[in-house]
Structure 1
Amino acid sequence: MTQVVELVEYAPAVSLALPDAAGRALAAGDVVDAAPDPYAVGRWVLRAGSRVGAVTVTGAGVDEPVTVRVTPKVPIVRLFFLLCYSLDPAGAWRDEEVDVAEHRDLLPALAHAVERQIDRALRQGLLQGYRATEESALVVRGRIREAEQVRRRFGATLPVEVAYDEFTTDIAENRILRTAVEWLLRLSGVPRDVRRRLLHQRVRLVGVTPVVRGQRPPDWRPTRLNARYHRALHLARAVLDGSSPEHAPGELRIEGFLFDMNKLFEDFVTVALREALRGSGHTAHLQDSHHLDEAAAVRMRPDFVLYGPDGTPCAVADAKYKAERRGGFPDADLYQMLAYCTALDLREGHLIYAKGNASHTAHRVRHAGILIHQHALDLDQEPAGLLAEVEEVARRMRID
């Protein structure tokens, strides 16, 4: 029997009865904020932060598996739009909302969406391509690796160290899909019907080598030849990037899938701004590296910097996955944007929040003349409305 802990992103902390080993693993794994309850033995105080999804703790000291599910405040269909748009803004992602609308939890929705996209990608069969191969062989194929032949064989004729390009299905694109399928099949919480379909996809990819745990997934480049794979590959990489590594304090293991909503919101805002400003004659750089001081000792990385045709910065923005509270947004954000504007020699800066009491406010800094805008996006709305709000932010940023 599995103990299931239900938490909500950024909700108040709750006290729960948990095995000490599980509580320590959750705290060490940076899954949620976890600490022993000072007022009750055998209980832990848990509070979810920006990471949403589900993980399961198993191993020594945990008699029954403990699954922690963190539900996002944003509806699942809205979260998937943020994810899919940031991965591929040119894709027609609107139909993904229909695909995942029946699922209330993140992991089942993600597994369903990945399986559906893999199925669509493989309807015309597995993609084939050339893979660079090096091996020892009894016949010469391709070219002989002379240095390896001398080093390994000491003048022997056979076997021969050769290198050649093999036309195969065991290429980066298929390996990413196979690895995502294998990882999803390992997770608890995937619905039975989705698991059955994932097993079918595994059979279709049976000749493909999955990536070994701990190794970096292979890189792939979008081309005309692999166009039918694009959407499946984007989602599969999201699975692999969000999969929590096995954490082993002693003999405990944590496995699961987590999204960082801070990063997801940042990725969406910066990509949407870049798309909104496309064709304006300006160039957008995401996570651009700059320095605050003249000695270049203090580094800063604004989320979004817009450059004019002459290559000089003309606008800067930073995304904050925060909602405005009764006392307003944190003052520290204003200080951070003031530093960005000063170092980049800009007269205006833009802070973009997930939700606010007003869609736009602005503050002019005394004795500096710098105007700092604070924009608030409403994530709980249809994609067209959300993109329209981003367009309005871009309009304020555009330098004519």
Structure 2
Amino acid sequence: MSADIEPHPPIPVIELREHGRPVAYRLPDAAGRTLAGSGILETTPDPYEPGWWQLKAGSMVGAATLTTPAGQAITLRITPKLPIARLFFLLGYALNPKGWQQDAVDVAEHADLLPALAHTYERQLERALRQGTLQGYRTTEETSLLVRGRIREADQIRRHYGLALPVEVSFDEYTVDIPENQLLRAATERLLRLPAIPTLTRRRLLSHRARLADAAALVRGHVMPDWRPSRLNSRYHPALHLAGIILRDSSVEHIVGDLRVNGFLFDMNKLFEDFVCVALREDLHGRGGRTELQGRGIHLDEADTVRIRPDFVWYDASGHARAVVDAKYKAEQPEGFPDADLYQLLAYCTALHLPAGHLIYAKGNPHTSHRIRNAGIRIHQHALDLDQPPKGLLGDISSIANALSDRQHASGS
């Protein structure tokens, strides 16, 4: 290397806090542009200090490694505002409201999300496999030189007309290569590819992977196999719910242009929305009618060209909308909540012919309402304090559910 060329300083591990203040980092231009193009956080060059970048995290939390086209690796860690245990409650309840208490795992020793998730999954996987690897029947169809199971006569005639061998057969095989084990193996391997997994947890995951080696590896890009809860696979349920998180929405392993991203990130906006909607659905169960998450088939205009999708709609037995809810993961500012949220819910109420609607925020004043001029519609704004024990949080959800049922709140008067 020429003495006239100054090497780039090593890229530091970038540590930010969800919705925190911007933090200045000295980064090579390529690294700064990589972060800006990732869409994970707000990234702007400092106009007064060349080589420095202002980085600000939004609602994405977790950890990821970004690799630039030049091969430079950038490690990014974004800490949630909520305690890890509280975040795991929201996540667990949204996935499995009936079993969240049984699925609880102590994560107090982990301050970061990814190590806590890996630890939680490893503990649940160990419990699932403690009594041995689950086996089940899998139907196999193949061309064979031996008759096994039953002969698929139509395929035999079409493929081997007039020949005795080979034989097209179908048989049920008792095996560990079933969807449950395939998903657990895939989630285990996914975690092992992620950064910042503690050494002890990684060692245990490697041991579990060896026990699942006879389950087929899932092919990236293919549809994941389905599994159905039953008495036979009940000990697998907690681990399978976590495996679904690891393999679906929260896992980041893709290429954006020339940028390679590998990590695990939660969008707190979606997590809050999922929790609120599932908790309302559970509380309203048994009060009649039906609930729908992410309302479908709703349009703002008479020509049905402008589609709208409220987060939560409660219908009565005749199919008419009884209440509409939108969840917003944002805290109230000194000047109040954004007016745009009111406009959005007003559109929902108008399309659904409702006299009232409900906005639920992550934090703010407990309740306020606005009667819309010339519309006869009242919009209620509720706030949930997420940083409280689960019992209190679910109690607040129940109070909001009561407001949805209450005639005074449901009326625009």
TM over 0.5: yes
Distance of 1:253 and 1:160 partners within structure 2:
47
Counterpart among 122, 126, 129 of residue 122 in structure 1 = 129
In structure 2, do the counterparts of structure 1 residues 12 and 360 end up closer, same or farther at CA, with 3 Å as the change threshold? same
Spell out the pairing of 1:23-42 with structure 2 (5 A cutoff).
23-42=32-51
Q: Which amino acid aligns with 1:12?
A: R
The TM-score with structure 1 as length reference comes to: 0.92
Percent of aligned pairs with the same amino acid: 60
Q: Which residue is equivalent to 1:247?
A: 255
Q: Does residue 285 of structure 2 align to residue 278 of structure 1?
A: yes
Counterpart among 40, 46, 57 of residue 48 in structure 1 = 57
Distance of 2:52 and 2:25 partners within structure 1:
5
Distance of 1:269 and 1:376 partners within structure 2:
11
Query: What is the CA-CA distance between 1:203 and the residue it aligns to?
Result: 1.9
C-alpha contact 2:64 2:262 (8 A) present in aligned 1: yes
Counterpart among 333, 337, 341 of residue 329 in structure 1 = 337
Q: Which residue is equivalent to 2:355?
A: 347
Query: What is the CA-CA distance between 1:295 and the residue it aligns to?
Result: 0.8
User: Aligned residue pairs: how many?
Assistant: 396
C-alpha contact 1:29 1:247 (8 A) present in aligned 2: no
Q: Does residue 216 of structure 2 align to residue 209 of structure 1?
A: yes
Q: Does residue 274 of structure 2 align to residue 267 of structure 1?
A: yes
Task: Classify the secondary structure of the residue corresponding to 2:282.
Answer: helix
Distance of 1:155 and 1:110 partners within structure 2:
58
Max radius of gyration: which structure? 2
Q: Which residue is equivalent to 1:368?
A: 375
Q: Which residue is equivalent to 2:23?
A: 14
Q: Which amino acid aligns with 1:11?
A: G
Query: What is the CA-CA distance between 1:301 and the residue it aligns to?
Result: 0.8
Q: Does residue 108 of structure 2 align to residue 101 of structure 1?
A: yes
C-alpha contact 2:370 2:379 (8 A) present in aligned 1: yes
1:106-159 Cα shifts (integer Å, max 9, x gaps)? 000000111111111122222222223233322233344566556766866544
Q: Which amino acid aligns with 2:37?
A: A
Q: Give the CA RMSD over aligned residues.
A: 2.2
Q: Which amino acid aligns with 2:13?
A: V
Distance of 1:158 and 1:3 partners within structure 2:
65
1:312-339 Cα shifts (integer Å, max 9, x gaps)? 1111101000100011000011111111
Task: Classify the secondary structure of the residue corresponding to 2:346.
Answer: helix
1:2-32 Cα shifts (integer Å, max 9, x gaps)? 7310011122333322344433433333222
Q: Which amino acid aligns with 1:53?
A: G
Q: Which amino acid aligns with 2:272?
A: F
Distance of 1:144 and 1:89 partners within structure 2:
45
Counterpart among 392, 395, 405 of residue 388 in structure 1 = 395
Spell out the pairing of 1:208-247 with structure 2 (5 A cutoff).
208-241=215-248, 242-247=250-255
In structure 2, do the counterparts of structure 1 residues 135 and 94 end up closer, same or farther at CA, with 3 Å as the change threshold? closer
Distance of 1:393 and 1:111 partners within structure 2:
34
Task: Classify the secondary structure of the residue corresponding to 1:342.
Answer: helix
Query: What is the CA-CA distance between 1:226 and the residue it aligns to?
Result: 1.5
In structure 2, do the counterparts of structure 1 residues 147 and 58 end up closer, same or farther at CA, with 3 Å as the change threshold? farther
Task: Classify the secondary structure of the residue corresponding to 1:127.
Answer: coil
Q: Which residue is equivalent to 1:397?
A: 404
Q: Does residue 63 of structure 2 align to residue 57 of structure 1?
A: no
Distance of 1:95 and 1:127 partners within structure 2:
19
Q: Which moved more, 1:43-52 or 1:148-157?
A: 148-157
Query: What is the CA-CA distance between 1:265 and the residue it aligns to?
Result: 0.3
Structure 2 residue runs of 5 or longer lacking an equivalent are: 1-9, 408-413
C-alpha contact 2:107 2:116 (8 A) present in aligned 1: yes
